[in-house]
Amino acid sequence: MKLYRAYAKVNIFLKITGMRANYHEIISRFMRVDSLYDELSFVAKEESEDFKIIGSFSCKTEQNTIYKAYLALLNALDADAAALLKNLMYKHGVKVDKKIPAFAGLGGGSSDGATFLKMCNEVLHLGLSQNELAAIGIKVGADIPFFIYGYDSANVSGIGEVVEEFKEHLLDIELFTPKLEISTPKVYAIYRENFYNPIDGFEVEKLKKTSSLDILKKMSADEANDLFKPALQEYKELKNYYKHGYYFSGSGSSFFRVKDA
């Protein structure tokens, strides 16, 4: 069976622009990391269960982003296509060779979910466009649309549903992930309570036009990522892992830098 790569990402910058209901609106530069990826494939299975994920996961199947993506896709399809999808998953499991650490700010779960949606679309000839897949994906996770589009680099805004390609060369990213599981909802809650200071539209436009390399040359780790300070406040041990010249991805716990920059 064909292997599909689900790449990691880093947030070159992540700034809060406001609130929409209970969601934080952001502007962020997502960049794909080509050196780190999970591998997904469909494998035939003998057990007659509806859905099976084969791989090393700490969460239950029902909590897994791949399973949630399956349910969202099922819900979006007409009866005939839904029957094809159910039949595919009745006969096959999703095998995941997991390399991207969980709870690390690298988008591993979202990338897996997006890759699963693209696999189903290809294998079953569903004919869904990237926009249609992204609209399904955003119901599952805010980072999924970025991975659906597969851009090297993109400005991501709203709550993750607006993905605009930013044309630049991929940077050679070096990653460091402490063995520390960070809760994204908790970090956002601390940000909202103690650090809430959304940037204005002028600053947003400036960031959107600046190359990733220039951002990293001009900004410090806490200037580039609004979630770094709240993460440090909530997870005191995080400061023991921070090294000068590194940046913080998402809500953590991963740090990154550009090799030889």
Tell me which H or E stretch contains 233: helix 228-234
Please pick, among 9, 15, 68, 118, the residue that the annotation labels catalytic: 9
Please tell me whether the peptide bond between 253 and the residue prior to it is cis, using omega within 30 degrees of 0. yes
Is 9 a catalytic site residue? yes
Is 143 a catalytic site residue? yes
End-to-end CA distance of the chain: 39
Residue 10's nearest CA partner among 260, 248, 217 is: 248
Q: What whole-number distance in Å separates Cα of residue 255 and Cα of residue 205?
A: 25
Please pick, among 38, 112, 118, 143, the residue that the annotation labels catalytic: 143
What is the DSSP-derived secondary structure letter of residue 194? I
Assess contact for 148 and 107: CB atoms under 8 A.
no
Cα distances (Å, whole numbers) of residue 110 to 147, 194, 235: 7, 28, 23
Q: Please give the positions annotated as active site.
A: 9, 143
